[in-house]
């Protein structure tokens, strides 16, 4: 009476096939990535050490460490994030909570979407023209950071808008019904309930900024600068700096007779920094979502 019918057996077979196909597609994405990471780490092991992170390059960058490049990357990422995050979040709050549906705001939305897909080399040329030449900042950490901020700003706006839109509208209506203003509702209800998505979007842009080469190559990165070991204040705001992505390109293509392990070790450090940032975003999202009441 309760035996499985032919239709039920056919559906179960289709489901099993679909499961294995999807598993195969997932493995086709994950396995090559793991193999690349393992290959890089194995090649980099002879050079990886704490001294490699904290020592400056020596012998024409054929030996030593990557401290100036690592420090310059930190400067660029922190300053660009300090500029892009507040502007991007406030712009998203305006577009999602205050903006009316008219031609001007639709034009802004279209511009944000289009800017998110602009290649980084175009942002590099914009930064060169706007900050280095027009604003007379010159090639410097500030010009490079502002260029990175402009490049990451559209994605921060888009991710923040998605996070704000995920908060149910009845939350807002309940606040308005008890006499709260729009800003009080945003500050006390909307932002706290969307902070996980906002924080995730902002942190993920750090990894993109850290790995970009073209924008900083045109606006603030240099070939080499002598920096003392462990000196965390080696760069000024209006000085040029080394950066990991640029340094990796230089030692891999421009410097002869570099030991094989050094470019691989530099790549592993850059990859590790990106993975650390992404892991931080995942942990922050999980923690913030666990505190939601809905």
**Tokens 């942990």 correspond to what residue?**
283
pLDDT, position 293? 60
Question: CB–CB of 55/266 below 8 Å?
Answer: no
pLDDT (0 to 100) of residue 2: 66
Q: What is the pTM of this model?
A: 0.85
Give CA–CA dist 90/273, Å, rounded: 28
What integer pLDDT is reported at residue 294 of this predicted model? 59
Delimit the domains of the chain by residue range. Answer: 50-290
Residue with tokens 């590790």: 272
Half-sphere exposure of 259 (CA within 13 A, CB side): 18
b/e per residue 47-58 (b: at least 16 CB within 10 A): bbeeebeebbbe
HEC readout, the chain = CCCCCHHHHHHHHHHHHHHHHHHHHHHHHHHHHHHHHHHHHHHHCCCCCHHHHHCCEECCCCEECCHHHHHHHHHHHHHHHHHHHHHHHHHHHHHHHHCCCCHHHHHHHHHHHHHHCCCHHHHHHHHHHHHHHHCCCCCCHHHHHHHHHHHHHHHHHHHHHHHHHCCCHHHHHHHHHCCCCHHHHHHHHHHHHHHHHHHHHHHHHHHHHHHCCHHHHHHCECCCCCCCCCCCCCCCCCCCECCHHHHHHHHHHCCCCCCCHHHHHHHHHHHHHHHHHHHHHHHHHHHHHHCCCC
For residue 282, the model assigns a pLDDT of 77
Predicted pLDDT of residue 48: 87
The predicted pLDDT at position 117 comes to 81
Per-residue confidence (pLDDT) for residue 1, from 0 to 100: 58
Separation of alpha carbons 53 and 70, rounded Å: 8
Q: What is the pLDDT of residue 28?
A: 92
- Residues 294, 285: Cα–Cα separation, whole Å: 15
pLDDT given for residue 144 in this prediction: 93
pLDDT of residue 292: 64
User: Is the Cβ–Cβ distance between 219 and 143 less than 8 Å?
Assistant: yes
Question: What is the mean pLDDT for each group of 10 consecutive residues in the chain (294 residues)?
Answer: 76 90 92 92 89 87 88 91 91 88 85 84 91 90 92 89 87 86 88 84 80 87 83 87 89 87 91 83 75 63
* Homologous superfamily of domain range 50-290: MetI-like (1.10.3720.10)
Nearest Cα to Cα of residue 62 among 226, 258, 225: 258
């Amino acid at each position: 009476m309760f035996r499985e019918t032919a239709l039920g057996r056919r559906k179960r077979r289709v489901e099993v096939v679909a499961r294995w196909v999807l598993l195969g597609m997932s493995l086709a994405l994950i396995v090559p990535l793991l193999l690349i990471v393992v290959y890089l780490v194995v090649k980099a092991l002879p050079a990886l050490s704490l001294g490699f992170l904290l020592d400056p390059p020596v012998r024409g960058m054929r030996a030593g460490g990557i401290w100036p490049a690592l420090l310059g990357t930190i400067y660029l990422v922190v300053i660009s994030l300090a500029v892009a995050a507040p502007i991007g979040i406030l712009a998203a709050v305006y577009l999602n909570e205050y903006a009316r549906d008219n031609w001007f705001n639709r034009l802004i939305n279209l511009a944000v979407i289009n800017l998110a897909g602009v290649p980084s080399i175009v942002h590099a040329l914009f930064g060169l023209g706007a900050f280095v030449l027009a604003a007379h900042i010159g090639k410097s950490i500030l010009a490079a950071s502002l260029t990175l901020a402009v490049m990451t700003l559209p994605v921060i706006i888009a991710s923040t808008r998605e996070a704000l839109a995920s908060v149910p509208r009845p939350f807002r209506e309940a606040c308005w019904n008890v006499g709260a203003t729009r800003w009080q509702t945003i500050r006390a209800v909307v932002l706290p309930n969307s902070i996980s998505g906002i924080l995730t979007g902002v942190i993920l842009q750090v990894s993109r900024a850290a790995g970009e080469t073209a924008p900083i190559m045109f606006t603030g990165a240099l070939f080499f600068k002598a920096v003392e070991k462990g000196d965390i204040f080696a760069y000024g705001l209006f000085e040029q700096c080394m950066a990991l992505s640029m340094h990796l390109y230089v030692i891999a293509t421009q410097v002869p007779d570099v030991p094989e392990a050094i470019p691989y070790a530099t790549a592993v450090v850059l990859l590790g920094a990106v993975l650390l940032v992404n892991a931080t975003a995942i942990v922050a999202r999980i923690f913030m979502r666990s505190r939601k009441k809905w």
